[in-house]
Amino acid sequence: MKIIKIPQFLHEVLGKESTLAELLMIFVTSIVGTLGLFFFTSIEWNQLSLWKIVLLFLLIFDILAGFIANLTFSTNQHYKENSKLRLVFIAIHIQPLLFSFLLNDYFYICLIVWIYTLITALSINALQKYPAQRVLAGCFVMIGLIGLLLYLNPIPNLLLIALAFFHLKVTYSFAVDHYAVREI
């Protein structure tokens, strides 16, 4: 596999080096996922102004790309070596609140998802050495997704999918040290 050195300004996103295959998977699946999501939900956003549509597109692309990128060894290792940056990363993820602003609605739903995700991600992050960290993160994600699907509905599909992947990205994909050696 061809190793690609990542420019320093992208280390927080992709780590220090990655494989060409991983970079292609991140980009292709994220752009296809974002385009597909926008194509199939156009009725939910087509009345928005252009700048809101563009920002919404970029935020969703960021969430989908981050969901995949955070699963890579390179990104995981970067935050393992810079543990305080992991806390900053969790704290700056306010996309649900931005979704509420861009869609002119759904503030409380977005706030609940954001707070729940913040709490669960910080809890999982605090358990870096815990042998069942991944399993516990999976439990938190499952509860969050069930709550989102059953109790925080009805919301537009675009927002539902964006919030679900936001929660997956921050709580499971990012807060978990996927490459840790765990002793049971």
- Whole-prediction pTM: 0.95
pLDDT in tens, the chain (184 residues): 789 999 999 999 999 999 999 999 999 999 999 999 999 999 999 999 999 999 999 999 999 999 999 999 999 999 999 889 999 999 999 999 999 999 999 999 999 999 999 999 999 999 988 899 999 999 999 999 999 999 877 899 999 999 999 999 999 999 999 998 877 6
User: What single string gives the DSSP state of each residue in 37-82?
Assistant: HHHHTHHHHTTS-HHHHHHHHHHHHHHHHHHHHTTSHHHHHHHHH-
Cβ atoms of 179 and 77 within 8 Å: the answer is yes
For residues 18 and 75, what is the distance between their CA atoms, to the nearest angstrom?
A: 8
pLDDT at 1: 77
**pLDDT for the residue numbered 70:** 96
- At 181 the pLDDT is 83
